[in-house]
Amino acid sequence: MRQNHTTQVCIIGAGPAGLLLSQLLANAGVRSIVIDRQDRTYIEARVRAGVLEQGTVDALNEAGVGARMAREGLPHSGFDLAFDGDRHRIDLAALTGQSVMVYGQTEVTRDLFEKRIAEGAQFFFNVSDVVPSDLKSDSPTVSFQHDGQPVTITCDYIAGCDGFRGVSRQAIPAEVLKTYERVYPFGWLGVLTERPPVSHELIYANHERGFALCSMRSNTRSRYYVQCNLTDTVEDWSDDRFWQELSRRIGPDAAADLQTGPSFEKSIAPLRSFVAEPMRYGNMFLAGDAAHIVPPTGAKGLNLAVADVRILSRALIEHYKNGNDHHIDSYSAQVLARVWKVERFSWQLSTLMHQFPDHSPFEKKMQRAEFDYLVQSEAASRSIAENYVGLPLD
């Protein structure tokens, strides 16, 4: 027998974007139901980004889930760019008056889950055959299978926070949806290890052998990456091979402080830039990876999703509290204007810091010239810093 439920907002996707949206709405008295094709354990275990913009920190505090982040997160006032052994620090605090917070997405997700569940939020996990329907009506629906039974949720609005491969974007008619994509000809091999980080701040390195990134999740847990071929597999990279390659790419000075050890997570991620337009169709909104993907250079994926959710939550709250639909009607245009600026920054930093197999000697010289310009120009460094700490919402 079909189960029927009603709510104000049905949120497809229980990742950090969907959870944060649900919490911000709940704080304002707006009801939501969250569904996901996975279970909580799987969602919490996903290893993702760990650098949070100030706006993301503010949003988590606004949601009421910032206490553990304040205790365990690592504030960073700068980071290093390295090019063939030469290093240049981007002083975020001096250039912008702001900083970023290192706190893993896994932890953000856990904090949000704990608060939502403690407050009695309604979830459906392990769902299948999800179909958003009647998107242009005043009562759109989301139908799915749960525990072998059909379920239908009728709502005022649908928020598609279900990622790049989710069903929400696919529900927009092909003649309406426009997509823009750049697929990069390499991937990132990442490892997690229970060792102190090589540096107290992040190091982004461009070496003739490829890109490398030294990051961390805590003072005792490090996250490292090296650029690899798309044809590589995790089995191709033993821990010994990884440490040798990382040491070469970050240079002898940084490598002198590198503490190696066994990895407990290792994965390869392809890099792409992707944007879908529009981010609203009828009474369904897209947010986060459902609408856009950025390469991880610059750590913008989670932060961009949070910015979407902050704008969307304010629009929905304004609708329910004051009957004002201006922000709902302008959501797509407002968010996309910001998305493209963030895409530009991620593309810029990715182009600067990676080795491209098809780059000519001229293009390689341009990379070096760009790095030298950053070193010599405070204005150029400030531009990088302003984008890294996060652009304003408006």
* CATH code for the domain in which residue 286 is found: 3.50.50.60
> Which tens digits make up the pLDDT trace of 312-326?
999 999 999 999 999
pLDDT in the model for residue 355: 97
pLDDT at 2 over 90: no
Q: Is residue 267 part of a domain?
A: no
How much is the average pLDDT of 135-146? 98
Q: Is residue 255 part of a domain?
A: no
In this prediction, residue 14 has a pLDDT band, given cuts at 50, 70 and 90, of very high
Q: Which of 64-68, 284-288, 297-301 has the lowest mean pLDDT?
A: 297-301
How much is the average pLDDT of 97-103? 97
pLDDT in the model for residue 48: 74
pLDDT in the model for residue 394: 80
How much is the average pLDDT of 2-9? 95
Q: Is residue 75 part of a domain?
A: no
- Which residue in 103, 204, 225, 281 is the catalytic one? 204
> Which tens digits make up the pLDDT trace of 57-83?
999 999 999 999 999 999 999 999 999
Q: Is residue 249 part of a domain?
A: no
In this prediction, residue 1 has a pLDDT band, given cuts at 50, 70 and 90, of confident
Mean pLDDT score of the chain, rounded to an integer?
96
- Which residue in 103, 296, 331, 354 is the catalytic one? 296
Q: Is residue 145 part of a domain?
A: yes
pLDDT at 47 over 80: no
How much is the average pLDDT of 76-104? 96
- Residue 365 is a catalytic residue: no
> Which tens digits make up the pLDDT trace of 359-368?
999 999 999 9
pLDDT in the model for residue 185: 97
- Structural domain including 168 reads 3-56+104-180+273-356
pLDDT in the model for residue 91: 98
- Which residue in 300, 319, 331, 354 is the catalytic one? 300
In this prediction, residue 372 has a pLDDT band, given cuts at 50, 70 and 90, of very high
pLDDT in the model for residue 376: 97
Q: Is residue 132 part of a domain?
A: yes
> Which tens digits make up the pLDDT trace of 104-127?
999 999 999 999 999 999 999 999
Q: Is residue 51 part of a domain?
A: yes
- What is the value of pTM for the model shown? 0.95
Split into its structural domains, the chain has a count of 1
How much is the average pLDDT of 250-268? 95
Q: Is residue 188 part of a domain?
A: no
- Residue 373 is a catalytic residue: no
- Which residue in 76, 292, 319, 354 is the catalytic one? 76
In this prediction, residue 292 has a pLDDT band, given cuts at 50, 70 and 90, of very high
pLDDT at 46 over 90: no
- Residue 296 is a catalytic residue: yes
pLDDT in the model for residue 271: 96
3-state secondary structure the chain: CCEEEECCEEEECCCHHHHHHHHHHHHCCCCEEEECCCCHHHHHHCCCCCEECHHHHHHHHHHCCCHHHHHHCEEECEEEEEECCEEEEEEHHHHHCCCEEECCHHHHHHHHHHHHHHCCCEEECCCEEEEEECCCCCCCEEEEEECCEEEEEECCEEEECCCCCCCCHHHCCCCCCEEEEEEEEEEEEEEEECCCCCCCCCEEEEECCEEEEEEECCCCCEEEEEEECCCCCHHHCCHHHHHHHHHHHHHHHHHCCCCCCCEEEEEEEEEEEEEEECCEECCEEECHHHCEECCCCCCCHHHHHHHHHHHHHHHHHHHHHHCCCHHHHCHHHHHHHHHHHHHHHHHHHHHHHCCCCCCCHHHHHHHHHHHHHHHHCHHHHHHHHHHHHCCCCC
